[in-house]
Amino acid sequence: MKEELVLIKNDFLKFITTSWDKIDDFITVHYFFVGISILLVLFIYYVIYRLVRKGIRQVNEEKLPKERKEILTRFARYIFYFAVGVYVLGLFGIKLSAIWGAAGIAGVAIGFAAQTSVSNLISGIFIVSEKSIKLGDTIIINGVTGVVDTISLLSVRVHTHDNQMVRIPNSSIINSLLTNNSYNSYRRYLLNVSVAYESDLALAMETLKKAPALCPTARTDPAPNAWIDSFGESGINLILAIWFDNSDFLAVKTEAFIAVKKVFDEAKIEIPYNKIVVHNA
């Protein structure tokens, strides 16, 4: 048993000695300086990337909005990763042309599969450059209404009013009708209301125009307005137009309904609705 332990010990020491000799042969002055130069190049790449990222973030937000800073920062990071990858592959004698050539049919298939991503990427550049949306805007796209949370190179993420996250590909935004409710600081709310055919239209219009004064969140500039829209099946349709700040949408909508009902009740103007009349036989 002791002899076996001695043999194992001798074999282990021999292995350690042989391995160290090989490592010692490999670690030469030449390889030492090669390693230092590689680390230096990678460090320079990293410093340049950090300086570029810092420079982007220090630009005034009036010249470069927050969402554009985020996209440019991501773009700089992708370039940094790509440059490091190309450099490391070059150290092993691997060239990108050889990789693409070896890919063959697989590369073509990947190219076709990447068409959607490229389309979204180009669309993202257009979205950022034309400044049609920004973080915090309320937008409507393909029937989805939500507040913009992030704008990336491939998609825009919004959260709906019931707090669901929706990811919208950039190509969909470019190719569809986009409504941005927050693009301007204020907008107009239209309230449709009907009056009975027996009503005095002049009195109805005069009464309807009193409603905005009862809405605290309604703007006076631009001034509210009202007009006759059409003859309906059960009444004459009127429209009340009220301007409001974007943040006051729900408030002004509620106030408008309450105000119209109040002024019409005071003027004894009937708002028609469907009725069922039952006669005794």
Mind listing the pLDDT tens digit for each residue in 41-60? 888 888 888 888 888 778 77
Distance CA 181, CA 136 (A): 11
**What's the rounded mean pLDDT across residues 144-153?**
89
Q: What angle do CA 127, 130, 135 make, to 5 degrees?
A: 60
Q: What pLDDT was estimated at residue 238?
A: 95
Task: Judge whether residue 122 has pLDDT over 90.
Answer: no
Tokens of 21: 């000799």
pLDDT, averaged across the chain: 80
| DSSP string over the chain | -HHHHHHHHHHHHHHHHHHHHHHHHH--HHHHHHHHHHHHHHHHHHHHHHHHHHHHHTS-TTTS-HHHHHHHHHHHHHHHHHHHHHHHHHHTT--HHHHHHHHTHHHHHHHHHTHHHHHHHHHHHHHHHHT---TT-EEEETTEEEEEEEE-SSEEEEE-TT--EEEEEHHHHHHS-EEETTSSSEEEEEEEEEE-TTS-HHHHHHHHTTGGGG-TTB-SSSPPEEEEEEE-SSSEEEEEEEEEEGGGHHHHHHHHHHHHHHHHHHTT-------------
As beta bridge partners, residue 148 has 158
Percent of the chain exceeding pLDDT 70 equals: 73
What band does 233 get if pLDDT is binned at 50, 70 and 90?
Answer: confident
Q: What pLDDT was estimated at residue 49?
A: 83
What band does 23 get if pLDDT is binned at 50, 70 and 90?
Answer: low
Q: Which residue has the higher pLDDT, 277 or 253?
A: 253
Task: Judge whether residue 32 has pLDDT over 70.
Answer: no
Task: Judge whether residue 35 has pLDDT over 90.
Answer: no
Looking up tokens 């974007």 gives: 246
Mind listing the pLDDT tens digit for each residue in 168-196? 998 888 888 999 998 898 999 999 999 99
Q: What pLDDT was estimated at residue 46?
A: 84
Task: Judge whether residue 160 has pLDDT over 80.
Answer: yes
Q: What pLDDT was estimated at residue 172?
A: 87
